[in-house]
Amino acid sequence: MKDILSELEDRREAARLGGGQRRVDSQHAKGKLTARERIMLLVDEGSFEEFDMFVTHRCTDFGMEASKPAGDGVITGWGTINGRQVYVYAQDFTVLGGSVSATHAQKICKIMDMAMQNGAPVIGINDSGGARIQEGVDSLAGYGEIFERNVRASGVVPQISLIMGPCAGGAVYSPAMTDFIFMVKDSSYMFVTGPDVVKTVTNEVVSAEELGGATTHTRKSSVADGAFENDVEAIAEVRRLFDFLPLNNMQKPPMRPFFDDPSRVEESLDTLVPVNPNTPYDMKELILKIADEGDFFEIQEDYAKNIITGYIRLEGQTVGVVANQPMVLAGCLDIDSSRKAARFVRFCDCFDIPILSLVDVPGFLPGTSQEYAGVIKHGAKLLYAYGEATVPKVTVITRKAYGGAYVVMSSKHLRGDFNYAWPTSEIAVMGAKGATEIIHRADAGNPEKIAQHTADYEERFANPFVAAERGFIDEVIMPQSTRRRVSRAFASLRTKKTHVPWKKHDNIPL
């Protein structure tokens, strides 16, 4: 009996060694943790329950039957993050380069199925040479099975991808279909075709880091939602994000104990908006002053900085924030910011996370580059996302809300529940100067008259009261009381119910 028990321990020990000490050392030398170390950091201590530790590949080509490492290059199972259940897989680069065989894929599919069945998120840690070359189409089939599950799980359980090594070819499409992608600087990359193929086909010379590193994907392509210095920081931040999210689409996000007075008055907000309407100010200051304990988890911080997206808590409840940033491009909407915010709004809506919109938007960015690249279709994404969202929606206009952008940014007309404006708001079809130049074109040669017309227009329209008179703004509020007003608004909306007519699914302009 003892022999049998010790055989189990021996087998476990061998499986835990992965590809052996030499390869583990090589992984560490690259500044990367092993798959097992990553999981141990990600989940609560002692909470990890492993599945399929002894699964091996079934390939008999190219001499593969001679080596059948236990686990087949991926560690799968479940654990908890601050006590809440999560399913996890981590590809083990020390075993055949973490490459995906038929059985490797089966292991991932098994925990994805369990996650769906039990209503818990999936976190995938990617570090893989891609399709197991010796297995050919069996490997491709495995990827296909994972992709299909990514689609089915979308909007049912949150899916988070960590990229912590190579992720190339069709393999990128599993993370691409998850809700969030986080990368590690200098040790991870994602691309559909690597630098060698790029050189052959287009004659461009580019390094793997330049082509698909964390900086590229968080600043240029927007494929990734965040970039971190190393594995430890990335995992710690994913744990932080996880605490904001619900486990599935049938549950509310977790309520956290809070130690910050919801009625906290912030007098400094009364002077946040500068006297000159063209002077920028930092919208992040407002977000941090509204949030419980000033805690803000930003998504896509380095991309389309003219809009800010991320999570805060109000009275312990998760709230998604979308805010125009006057410091960048005057906070205007353009293709990139519309896409960024639309995806964020849709995530919040499918997982029942209320949305707070902070508005200071002078309109859409003009120009041929925007029009040729389809700002109509991309801008419509954000309009559509806000219009379809049925979660509680609270909006605060701090300054400009002009033209179409006014409507887009969670206006009353898109079923905003509470639409507040600061006294500094200017809700109008456009800025006073532009409006005057159009409606008083005949006086274009007379600067004095134009100045008078502009002043008249400002007097009449550069305020929140025209909109408030029509009920498009529910209340003009003191900036210092914003946290209290917004917290109370969301508290009143906790029981919100809306009716959505049956449809198979919508047809958002993609």
β pairing state of 307-314 and 297-299: antiparallel
Q: Does 320 bind ligand HXC (CB under 6 A)?
A: no
CB of 134 to ligand HXC, least distance (A): 6
Choose which of 69, 124, 158, 166 interacts with ligand HXC (CB under 6 A): 166
CB of 38 to ligand HXC, least distance (A): 17
CB of 128 to ligand HXC, least distance (A): 8
CA contacts within 13 A on the Cβ side of 305: 12
Q: Does 35 bind ligand HXC (CB under 6 A)?
A: no
Choose which of 14, 140, 380, 407 interacts with ligand HXC (CB under 6 A): 140
Kindly indicate which of the ranges 31-39, 149-157, 164-172, 326-334 contains the residues binding ligand HXC, using the contact rule CB under 6 A.
164-172
Choose which of 130, 175, 254, 416 interacts with ligand HXC (CB under 6 A): 130
Question: Which residue lies nearer to ligand HXC by CB, 131 or 342?
Answer: 131
CB of 179 to ligand HXC, least distance (A): 20
- As a whole number of angstroms, the distance between CA 475 and CA 359 comes to 15
Question: Which residue lies nearer to ligand HXC by CB, 129 or 479?
Answer: 129
Question: Which residue lies nearer to ligand HXC by CB, 10 or 148?
Answer: 148
Catalytic residue among 105, 115, 401, 405: 405
In degrees and rounded to multiples of 5, residue 181 shows phi and psi of -125, 125
Is residue 405 annotated as part of the catalytic site, yes or no? Answer: yes
Are the C-beta atoms of residues 64 and 98 closer than 8 Å to each other? Answer: no
Question: Which residue lies nearer to ligand HXC by CB, 89 or 143?
Answer: 143
Question: Which residue lies nearer to ligand HXC by CB, 132 or 217?
Answer: 132
Q: Does 133 bind ligand HXC (CB under 6 A)?
A: yes
Is residue 66 annotated as part of the catalytic site, yes or no? Answer: no
- As a whole number of angstroms, the distance between CA 331 and CA 404 comes to 14
Residues within window 39-98 making contact with ligand HXC, judged by CB under 6 A? 96-97
Q: Does 129 bind ligand HXC (CB under 6 A)?
A: yes
Catalytic residue among 119, 144, 155, 169: 169
> What are the start-end ranges of the E strands in 377-498?
393-402, 418-421, 426-428, 475-476
Tell me the sheet residues that pair with 427. 401
In degrees and rounded to multiples of 5, residue 359 shows phi and psi of -115, 125
Question: Which residue lies nearer to ligand HXC by CB, 62 or 118?
Answer: 62
CB of 15 to ligand HXC, least distance (A): 17
Q: How far apart are the first and last CA of the chain?
A: 62
Catalytic residue among 119, 144, 155, 170: 170
CA distances to 23, 184, 297, 392 from 243, rounded to whole Å, are 34, 21, 10, 20
CA contacts within 13 A on the Cβ side of 105: 24
CA distances to 137, 341, 348, 389 from 355, rounded to whole Å, are 44, 11, 7, 9
Q: Does 281 bind ligand HXC (CB under 6 A)?
A: no
- As a whole number of angstroms, the distance between CA 346 and CA 366 comes to 26
Question: Which residue lies nearer to ligand HXC by CB, 173 or 465?
Answer: 173
Q: Does 211 bind ligand HXC (CB under 6 A)?
A: no
Choose which of 87, 143, 311, 386 interacts with ligand HXC (CB under 6 A): 143
Number of neighbouring beta carbons within 10 Å of residue 116: 17
Question: Which residue lies nearer to ligand HXC by CB, 212 or 354?
Answer: 212
Total residues in contact with ligand HXC, by rule CB under 6 A:
15
Q: Does 169 bind ligand HXC (CB under 6 A)?
A: yes
Which sign, positive or negative, has the C-alpha torsion 149, 152, 158, 160? positive
Kindly indicate which of the ranges 124-132, 418-426, 467-475, 487-495 contains the residues binding ligand HXC, using the contact rule CB under 6 A.
124-132
Angle at 406 between CA 403 and CA 411, to 5 degrees: 140
Is residue 63 annotated as part of the catalytic site, yes or no? Answer: no
Angle between helix axes 137-153 and 102-118 (nearest 10 degrees) is 10
- As a whole number of angstroms, the distance between CA 316 and CA 324 comes to 24
What three-state secondary structure class fits 358?
strand
Is residue 401 annotated as part of the catalytic site, yes or no? Answer: no
Angle at 362 between CA 357 and CA 368, to 5 degrees: 115
Question: Which residue lies nearer to ligand HXC by CB, 170 or 434?
Answer: 170
CB of 30 to ligand HXC, least distance (A): 7
Choose which of 170, 262, 387, 434 interacts with ligand HXC (CB under 6 A): 170
Q: Does 99 bind ligand HXC (CB under 6 A)?
A: yes
> What are the start-end ranges of the E strands in 305-417?
307-314, 317-324, 355-361, 393-402
Q: Which residues are catalytic?
A: 169-170, 404-405
Residues forming contacts to ligand HXC in the complex (CB under 6 A) are: 96-97, 99, 129-133, 140, 143, 166, 168-171
